[in-house]
Structure 1
Amino acid sequence: MRKVDVFDTTLRDGEQSAGVNLHRHEKLEIALQLERYGVDVMEAGFPASSQGDFQSVQDIARRVKSCSVAGLARASRGDIDAAWEALREGTEPRLHIFLATSPIHMEYKLRMTPDAVVAAAEDSVRYAAAKFPYVEWSAEDATRSDWDFLVRIVTAAIHAGASVINLPDTVGYTTPEEYAALFQYLREHVPNAHKAKFSAHCHDDLGLAVSNTLAAIAVGVDQIEGTINGIGERAGNAALEEVLTALAIRKDVYQVETSIQLEQTALTSKLVSKLTGLIVPPNKAVVGNNAFAHESGIHQDGVLKHTLTYEIIRPEMVGYGSNRMVLGKHSGRHAFREKCIELGIHFDEETFLALFKAFKELTDHKKEVTDDDILALYLESGGGQQERGYELEFLHVTYTENRTTTAIGASAPSGRVIREVATGAGTVESIYNTVERIVEEKMELQDYRIQSTTGGQDSLAEVYVKVALGGGVGSGRGVDNDVLAASAKAFLDAVNRIQWKRQLGEAALAATAEG
């Protein structure tokens, strides 16, 4: 069967989702899971966009060994140089250059003539090809571009050294029939098309991203691009787990294979959801909580008699296993370690001991600890790689008829424990006001959400917040058996992220001044 490469852009296009702000250790955690998932290429970020993104891409390129790590760049030598510095230590460093080709983008965004755009594409690709072993060139807004102009610029890009040509449906405008015809037209009219792979990258503004991607595969594209859970700007990208499961289930139709380890799908989806704070809808295909749930009596009867009556996907195929090993207060280190390995959680001994301690503390409040609980505890620990920031030491809340008073003790980055008290009209407001006094900066709460890891009264609470602080905006996550403690942790986590980002910016400015 024909092999199709999988290009994951969760860490770049996916992180551009509104409200998502991944920290370096979280990006690395996702990257290592994507490597286990089996993607051929992962786009780790946009190195020239910020010092933080540069460092994240560099971290990932140094750690990931079994797939190619890519960085995004505009058609400028500065962007290309930054990407090379971030990626040069990687196993297969890859550059992804983009340049708009639609009339509306060239006229209003680029303010360049078609001839100038072709020249810029050719120059940037040639410059990049002298550094990178692999160069992918993207025609931004390809599906609203003139097809004959695309033939001209794609021919020039391949001639200059592009090894992959991407035709993105940047604004989610096209239909499956149109998208398939576009690839066929270019394959027939670009004279050097045989020298490059063609790639499909679809956005979901009209809900057609997965269908468009599958249509491109049906006419022979060599690579598909998307994100885990379909996250991304606006309505998101093609959901890779849906495309890949469709390819596996309907192999008789598409006749292609990939290097993906489908049994890692559930864990990959959960990891991305928890770290980004973007909740997977229950009815989402493949990874939603209801994807394998049956409530109708007729459906239940059919599934009990034979699963194929209503389930075309075996849960085990995408990582929803049938392992029933229960972890509780009497479970030892060996059983806990084996469960972590089964879940794909990797750690050093120090991190394991801290995680085991948190697990034992949880069993004092919870009879049965689920896979989701363990994953939540691990993510809360920062995977053992998080810089020191504000950490919750204690929380005390007092209720009166009209006011709530909160006392919080938090260790500062310096190690000093700060104790503050504040009041509010409700518990969340009083916690928020107390944290504001601890950090001595005015905060503005922009979003606050609560969810539980599982059902039941003893479920862990996960709180996601988004706050503005000192000109910066950051999201935070807190996990605890108590929803108020989880809220306090989330506020402190958001503060930490904003302050770390601020420190990176100050370091970059200092480096520029010294240069």
Structure 2
Amino acid sequence: MLQQPNDKYRAFPPVALNDRQWPGKTLTQAPRWLSTDLRDGNQSLAEPMDSTRKKLFWQLLLQCGFKEIEVAFPSASQTDFNFVRELIEQRMIPDDVSIQVLTQARSDLIDRTFLSLEGAKNATVHLYNATAPVFRRLVFRQSKEQIIELAVNATRLIRQRCEEQPQTNWTFEYSPETFCFTELDFALEICEAVAAVWQPCAERPMIVNLPATVEVSTPNVYADQIEYFCRHFSWRPEVCISVHPHNDRGTGIAAAELALLAGADRVEGCLFGNGERTGNVDLVTMALNFYTQGINPGLDFSQMKQVVDLVEQCNQLPVHPRHPYAGELVFTAFSGSHQDAIKKGFAARKEQQDNVWEVPYLPLDPADIGCNYEAVIRVNSQSGKSGAAWMIEQNHGLVLPRALQQDFSQRVQQVTDGEGKEMTQAAIWQLFRQAYGLTAPELQLGEYRSQSDSHGQLQFEASVQQDNRPYAVAGRGNGLLSAAVDALRQAFDVSFTIQDYHEHTLGQRSDSRSVAYLHCTFAGNHSAWGVGIDSDVSRASLQALLNALAQGQLAGGK
């Protein structure tokens, strides 16, 4: 049993910001994005990426449109150092892309970092040191003044090294690493001191990164911290404010979005939320959140399956099937009521005048990220009449009448209840064909002819085969189907009437095939459906009638 939490844990204090502005704001444009998959994401893997996997991931990030990519911690390992050199020496960095590297506040590590960056066109040096009380007290055992001195001295050395290599366009980034649980006045003090050394301006760009290194509060508190900092930081107009939320409380996305409302300009994270512990903020989800609000995210995830496959290959971690936008099942409905709503939504889109996306249960058109509609509805024992009908319509073009949907759903339900498994599209189609006479029909229409007599009645004659035996049938009626019913009643000594009839073509061309759906009722209150498909709509209708008759006889309608 869990302990009484108030004996061990304390609530994180709110920020005294009674006139906060961010709750009334709306996101209208995407932020600057930085992928840290190759650094923060990579260091969190049980088996960090080798050079081959890193280069694959690098190419993916470029294809997705990232212009800022944190590629390594070059002073931490020879592998990271070599990767930075490889990118530069093999000219793998586009001119409009800036690579970023991380360093601690030590002179030897800073020098090693600059050695790795020689020859780069655009580079960001990212300096960090921990600032929170628990780190000052337990980890470093240093005072506030000592922590500030460490950051200031490192910044001074970084500026000197940048000035020694003017051929590179340098950006400086500073992170008070544990910002989210650092006293706000101290976070401001240390960032002011660092900025005073760097002197940010257009010629010397600077990023102040305010990470939620470990989530310790609700997202609104983080947003208050960001707004407070932006209001009080004297260098705010000259710097880019970046955020780097983690996901320890499961609210990384919300924290990042609220931080943008509160004044942040840039978001650091990983594809699908990889990273230490519970991971970094998920840039895929964030980008597509913007997209579904009508805002261009500036990142391209139009081929989501390829992105998922490559990230899984490089990280050697699976993307969860329920992961927002990207998971195998995120567009899938098994529930009957959900399926019915989705089916109606797609039907309504065919009639609407504009292109506004409005389909129940689908916040995003799967086609926009390269997914087909086959995955939208899948059928199991929880599904209703719409699920199987949707799959048949999407894959075979048959628009089943509502009553036929109900009839077929009962057949599907019997199968799924009996097997306890999902029913595949192929199995559904096979069941449909068997149920309504589209495969090896019991009664097969041969040659037929019809003509009007002197009384205005239609005379109908046909050859019908049953069990490899031909039967000649003849009858008369007001139309083709009524004459055929008369002929079949006589030939097979069965009493039945046509209750419902529908037909449509299976394409737009003049030579497209037609499908007919026909519902018959029999003596004894039995009923049956038959379906016929033929290039001749009359033959399709007659075969549907024969298929309904055969099904009715099997059901005890004779």
* Structure 1 length-normalised TM: 0.59
Matched, 1:153 2:190: yes
Please give the residue correspondences for 1:345-360 in structure 2 after superposition, counting only pairs within 5 Å. Answer: none
SS in 2 for 1:73: strand
Letter in 1 for 2:323: K
Q: 1:174 to 1:129 in 2, by over 3 A?
A: farther
Number of the residue aligned with 2:369: 318
Q: Is the 8 A contact 1:241 1:265 kept in 2?
A: no
Match of 1:246 among 289, 293, 296: 289
In structure 2, which of residues 195, 204, 213 is the aligned counterpart of residue 170 of structure 1? Answer: 213
Q: Which of 63, 84, 103 is the matching residue for 2:92?
A: 63
Determine whether 1:207 maps to 2:250: yes
Q: C-alpha offsets along residues 414-443 of structure 1, whole Å, 9 cap, x if unaligned?
A: xxxxxxxxxxxxxxxxxxxxxxxxxxxxxx
Question: Is 1:102 matched up with 2:153?
Answer: no
- Return the structure number with greater helix share: 1
Superposed, 1:231-270 pairs within 5 Å as 231-251=274-294, 257-270=296-309
1:270 is displaced (CA, Å) by 2.3
2:83 corresponds to 1:46:
no
List runs of 5+ in structure 2 lacking aligned partners: 1-27, 163-168, 201-205, 347-358, 375-558
1:315-339 per-position Cα deviation (integer Å, ceiling 9, x unaligned): 232333679xxxxxxxxxxxxxxxx
Equivalent position of 1:137 in the other structure: 174
Q: Would you say 1:306 and 2:345 are equivalent positions?
A: yes
Runs of 4+ in 1 over 3 A off after TM superposition: none
Contact 2:246 / 2:280 at 8 angstroms: preserved in 1? yes
Work out whether 1:20 is the aligned partner of 2:36. no
Inter-CA distance 176–267: structure 2 relative to 1 (3 Å threshold): same
| Structure 2 partner of 1:278 | 317
**Structure 1 partner of 2:141:** 111
Amino acid at match of 1:106: R
Q: Indicate whether 1:10 and 2:37 are aligned.
A: yes
CA positional deviation for 1:309: 1.3
**Structure 1: which 5+ runs fail to align?**
324-515
Higher Rg: 2
How big is each residue's C-alpha offset from its partner over 1:355-381, in whole Å with a ceiling of 9 and x where there is no partner? xxxxxxxxxxxxxxxxxxxxxxxxxxx
- What amino acid sits opposite 1:283 in the alignment? R
CA distance in 1, matches of 2:176, 2:303: 32
Asked whether 1:128 is paired with 2:158, we answer yes
Matches within 5 A, 1:287-306: 287-306=326-345
Q: How many residues align?
A: 320
Amino acid at match of 2:229: L
1-structure distance, mates of 2:311, 2:256: 21
Compute the displacement of 1:118 (Å): 0.9
Q: Structure 1 100/318 Cα, relative in aligned 2: closer, same or farther at 3 Å?
A: same
Give the TM-score, by structure 2 length: 0.55
Measure the CA separation in 2 of the matches of 1:207 and 1:154.
Answer: 28
CA-CA distance at 1:225 after TM superposition: 0.8
What's the offset of the Cα at 1:71?
0.7
The residue matched to 1:225 in structure 2 has which SS?
strand
Change (3 A) 1:85 1:273: same
Instruction: Tell me the residue number matched to 1:450.
Output: none
**Secondary structure of residue in 2 paired with 1:88:** coil
Q: In 1, Cα distance between the equivalents of 2:106 and 2:230?
A: 27
What is residue 76 of structure 1 aligned with on the other side? 106
User: Deviation of residue 265 (structure 1)?
Assistant: 4.3
1:180 aligns with 2:223: yes
Post-superposition offset of 1:182: 0.8
TM-superposed CA distance for 1:3, in Å, is: 5.1
Q: After TM superposition, give the deviation of residue 257 of structure 1 in Å.
A: 4.9
Deviation at 1:86, TM superposition (A): 1.9
1:441-494 residue CA offsets vs partner (Å, 9 max, x unmatched): xxxxxxxxxxxxxxxxxxxxxxxxxxxxxxxxxxxxxxxxxxxxxxxxxxxxxx
2:233 aligned with 1:190: yes
Q: Distance in 2 between matches of 1:81 and 1:265?
A: 40
1:2: Cα distance to partner? 4.4
> How do 1:313-392 residues align onto structure 2 when only pairs under 5 Å count?
313-320=364-371
Task: Specify whether residues 110 and 321 from structure 1 end up closer, same or farther in structure 2 by C-alpha distance, changes over 3 A only.
Answer: farther
Aligned residues: CA RMSD: 2.1
